[in-house]
Amino acid sequence: MEWIQHYQHLLIPEGENQNFVQVERDFTDLPEKMEHLLAHPEEAERIAQNSARTFRDRYLTPAAEACYWRRLVRGWGQVSFAPEFYIGLGADRRWRGVPFESFAIMRKLEWEPS
């Protein structure tokens, strides 16, 4: 593969638990693979069901993706700089931004947390 994804270890190219169809990088074997799957719909359905069960229903749900990104950002924060959450001092102190969870829920940057 050209890129490594965080779910790379979950890709199973063959066997009963196969969840994707591997093709050559230049797709030269794609017509052959497609003909095989079209001729064997039960195999294609098994691969599709395995893929949906592994990725859509478990590892790539919106909640799982949010957890991945949150952990990635927090991990980066441990090896990077510590952000300043507030601007100003005393009574003039105000948020410099909003927490990711707040942005994800409210879908806006300007709002007053209660």
Return the number of other C-beta atoms located less than 10 Å from residue 15's C-beta.
Answer: 8
Question: Residue 98's pLDDT is what?
Answer: 74
Question: Residue 1's pLDDT is what?
Answer: 67
Please report where in the chains the tokens 């169809």 appear, as a residue: 21
Residues 94/86, Cβ–Cβ less than 8 Å:
yes
Question: Residue 57's pLDDT is what?
Answer: 93
Q: Please give the average pLDDT of every successive group of 10 residues along the chain, which has 114 residues.
A: 83 96 95 98 98 92 90 89 84 81 76 63
Say yes or no: 14 and 33 in one domain: yes
In the chain, the amino acid numbered 13 is P
Say yes or no: 52 and 102 in one domain: no
Range(s) of the domain holding residue 23: 8-81
Q: Which positions ≥6 away from 43 have C-beta within 8 Å?
A: 36, 37
Q: Please check whether residue 48 lies inside any domain of the structure.
A: yes
How many domains does the chain fold into? 2
Please tell me the distance from the alpha carbon of residue 30 to that of residue 24, in angstroms, as a whole number. Answer: 8
Say yes or no: 88 and 48 in one domain: no
Nearest to 82 by CA among 96, 67, 101: 96
